[in-house]
Structure 1
């Protein structure tokens, strides 16, 4: 369910990014209280067409007695209708429709040693994670390895520097610029699998890290995951969130589709049954009758449309949101799922 929230601040971070803060009314405080790593789905109408996009919350999680602070980072995307609107038109006092925080790319504060490899705007959810963890857990440590094109294009530069000043002994910060040489630190260049495989053991005891958080473009996240696995890190300690996919990845192996299929879906306690039209995703089938079906990106990246496969079989074109244990437990992305059996049942409430 979307709620209209007033914009209380729009801060220019770089030439192509802004931070937008929303004012949360007292009656919605609990609705919009977030866990570090979660994101918001934002919605607006353009010439009668609904546009939804997800952006991660960058502010620390607030305690139960405090008022939630909702601030998201938005980077301009070529041809991106919402990001263009946010950077060029959105001003204080405007109202934006916002869905409550969601997502499973989470770091619940606890003692331990944690690390993140991020690229570009992938810093946004990790900033919330690191700030919350270091403030609430005196025994926790965090290593942040971030990659950006240039210093001028680096989002939340001041916020990360402030964190480093506040927790000099518990926050390790490593910055790599891909298109600009630094006066000190690591040489410029991309953080690919080969480079990370050699770099990570030199920076920290890789296997002693309790949780790895990878966030950014698909290529960086995939390369970091492969490097960690090659270094012996258990898959269960690696958590990923992809902001955009630019690799032209192919869909999963085709599965023969039935000539006629029916979908039964449960959403907010109500069930319905509908025929699946040729070529449409199961999310599109539900949306024909239930406009309240959850979704944001429709690209298999955000995970908003996650549903439990109760019965039947599906094929997913691609999946960049669900972790291995989720798919093994029976969860699918409705926006990427097509029927592989004559009858399929999904439950969006589980």
Structure 2
């Protein structure tokens, strides 16, 4: 469910990125509590429709207010802050960098997502690229502040020093926890005086680099975030190094490859079939048009169906397949454990059987 939130600040980070802060009214703060690594979906209404985008929250999770504090404060954040990088021909990012002003109001969905690191003792590491630093920044700040027996190693890759997001914030983390926070930076298009030689962090390079930086088998959790190419390379390197799949968590920020070419409808899908869905405690059954995704069918009848990117990346439209069979075009959001448990992405799922039933509340 979206709520209108006022923009408290739009602050430049680099030439092509900004942070946007939203004010959260006291009565909504409980609804906007978040775990380190989660994201929010932002909706902007435009002539003839709307634009939705998903951005990760970058601040450490705020501490709980004192019980019975002034005004009876409700636990939850007073502000939400996200980082937005300009994307070529990006409708929302262009608006955010060039037009959005303090005082403007945008619709914001409560935090969601499973790319989460809850504070606990242990050794953790992240490999991030570009704006993939955003959710990991929240994870690092939260776990180091709340868990004195935690340590974190951050390996980040950026094009140039000038394009590096949250440079000051990461430096501050290093100053605050020099013994528990290790930072390694790589620039793909620029030489730097300290740190790694320039160049991309591909699978071969990461396979050689990671054991030189930290004891790989002793790392309790790996967090990979950024473009598909970097995340795939890091995942491959960790697999070569023998890291159990259960310790690897990933979130894709950008997919370079084009969407798959739709497969022509076959069998029962030739006449569309039927989609049954439970959403917000209410169930419905609707005829599907041939070639429609499950999400498209539901949206024609329930405008409150959850979605953001429609590209199989953010996971906002995650739903449980209760009955029937679907073909999922692509998936960059669900873990193998989730798909094994029957979860699918509604935006990428096309009915194969005559009747498909899903549960968005599961």
Normalising by structure 2, report the TM-score: 0.94
Provide Cα deviations, 1:278-299, integer angstroms capped at 9, x if missing partner.
1110000000000000000000
Distance in 2 of aligned mates of 1:90 and 1:46: 13
Partner of residue 207 from structure 2, selected from 180, 197, 208: 197
Alignment match, 2:337: 325
Q: Could you tell me which runs of 5 or more consecutive residues in structure 1 were left unpaired when the two chains were aligned.
A: none
Provide Cα deviations, 1:240-262, integer angstroms capped at 9, x if missing partner.
10011003474799994523311
Distance in 2 of aligned mates of 1:252 and 1:35: 36
Alignment match, 1:32: 32
Alignment match, 2:2: 2
Alignment match, 2:143: 133
Report the alpha carbon displacement of residue 275 of structure 1 after superposing the two structures with TM.
Answer: 1.2
Residue 264, structure 1, aligned to residue 276, structure 2: yes
Change (3 A) 1:113 1:255: farther
Provide Cα deviations, 1:193-241, integer angstroms capped at 9, x if missing partner.
1110111111111111111000000000001001101100011111010
Residue 170, structure 1, aligned to residue 188, structure 2: no
Distance in 2 of aligned mates of 1:252 and 1:127: 37
Q: Could you tell me which runs of 5 or more consecutive residues in structure 2 were left unpaired when the two chains were aligned.
A: 66-74
Secondary structure (helix, strand or coil) at the match of 1:315 reads strand
Normalising by structure 1, report the TM-score: 0.98
Change (3 A) 1:346 1:204: same
Change (3 A) 1:134 1:254: farther
Partner of residue 234 from structure 2, selected from 224, 232, 253: 224
Residue 277, structure 1, aligned to residue 325, structure 2: no
Correspondences of 1:204-243 after superposition (within 5 Å): 204-243=214-253
Distance in 2 of aligned mates of 1:276 and 1:321: 25
Secondary structure (helix, strand or coil) at the match of 1:51 reads strand
**Aligned residues of 2:32 and 2:76 also touching (Cα < 8 A):** no
Alignment match, 1:63: 63
Q: Spell out structure 1 runs of 4+ moving beyond 4 A.
A: 249-257
**Aligned residues of 2:265 and 2:290 also touching (Cα < 8 A):** no
Distance in 2 of aligned mates of 1:64 and 1:31: 14
Alignment match, 2:311: 299
